[in-house]
Amino acid sequence: MSILIVGSLAFDDIETPFGQSFDTLGGSSTYIALSASYFTDQVELVGVVGSDFEDKHFDLLHSRNIDTKGIKKVEDGKTFRWAGRYHYDMNTRDTLDTQLNVFADFDPHVPEEYRDAEFVCLGNIDPELQLKVLDQISKPKLVICDTMNFWIEGKPAELKKTLEHVDIFIINDSEARILSGDPNLVKSARIIRAMGPKTLIIKKGEHGALLFHGEKVFFAPALPLEEVFDPTGAGDTFAGGFIGHIAKTKDISFENMKTAIIVGSAMASFCVEKFGTQRLREINKADIDSRIAEFVQLVNFDIELI
């Protein structure tokens, strides 16, 4: 099953308490696509890059069977750049620099052969552009959407318009509180789902993720890790594993979404182990299966004894 992914492609300068990494390939769609590529070989990317996005970067995506026909290369432009520094606790970070470059004029064009995509994953970009992408798709089976504080506060009306066309909305806990205006996450979930998305996933970083659907709620923890090396892209990697599992199994039931959240959490746990996308390019199916088995151990309990 094909997954169409729209989002940023970027070069990041990352500083953590453990070291620094420069000109690291990043961006929301890069992480989503790499993560999803472990579950289906029909991953299609729509985005924009500059002339500094070299063949080796395309090769990296192609090595994971990611289709890059939808990536527009602006020859006289530069790729989006982000620089950030993580604090000692690795949960908070400061953005040191943002250079939109070619991303400032991004006008997503979905290639003809992508328009029948069954699964659409809208990475964190301007909600108007997210809607523009949906307008070009014929009849997706499922639309997943991410966003960030910048759009919630800067373009609330546009975001709400986009949300009317979204099936699964993924945000973090502080974003949920801002968007809903309520500090309680259960109430937030109800308020946000009334804006359109039937299903809401609230990411809580190292504290796991909550899945809300109908009157049901499911919780997946993050794996307790001894070393968190670089959290950049963990949320996008989570989304990629989630949609990857859904596309692979062709099952959009609540029960299967639970499993997909565990798969996404497992993928995110790899992401943070090394700088940038490095770990996401090294792992194999056996690594993923064994990581998922760790999650089963982590949350499984025997209730028969009670």
What are the residues binding a copy of itself (CB under 8 A)? Answer: 88-89, 183-187, 204, 207-208, 210, 216-221, 224-228, 245, 249, 251, 255-256, 258-259, 261-263, 289, 292, 296-303, 305-306
Decide: 223 and 10 in contact? Cβ < 8 Å. Answer: no
Least Cβ distance, residue 246 to a copy of itself (angstroms): 11
With respect to a copy of itself, which residue has the nearer C-beta, 210 or 271? Answer: 210
Between 148 and 217, name the residue whose CB sits nearer to a copy of itself: 217
Q: Give whichever of 198 and 216 is closer to a copy of itself, judged by the CB atom.
A: 216
Q: Please, which residue, 157 or 303, has the CB nearer to a copy of itself?
A: 303
Q: How far is the CB of 264 from a copy of itself (least distance, A)?
A: 12
Taking the complex as a whole, how short is the minimal distance between the CB of residue 135 and a copy of itself, in angstroms? Answer: 33
CB 7 to a copy of itself: min, Å: 26
- Closest separation in Å from C-beta 218 to a copy of itself: 6
Say how many C-beta atoms besides its own lie within 10 A of residue 4's C-beta.
Answer: 27
Closer to a copy of itself by CB, 132 or 245: give it: 245
Which stretches within 93-147 are classed as H helix? 127-135
Shortest reach from residue 55's CB to a copy of itself, in Å: 35
Helix, strand, coil distribution of the chain in percent, nearest 5: 40, 25, 35
- What Å distances lie between residue 50 and 16, 75, 129, 160, 275, CA to CA? 27, 6, 19, 31, 23
Closest residue by Cα to residue 279 from 270, 289, 266: 270
Q: How far apart are CA 81 and CA 168, in angstroms?
A: 28
Could you tell me which of 282, 295, 290, 296 has the C-alpha nearest to residue 38? 282
Strands (E), 195-283: 199-203, 209-213, 216-220
Q: What is the largest CA-CA distance in the chain?
A: 68
Q: Which C-beta is closer to a copy of itself: that of 104 or that of 225?
A: 225
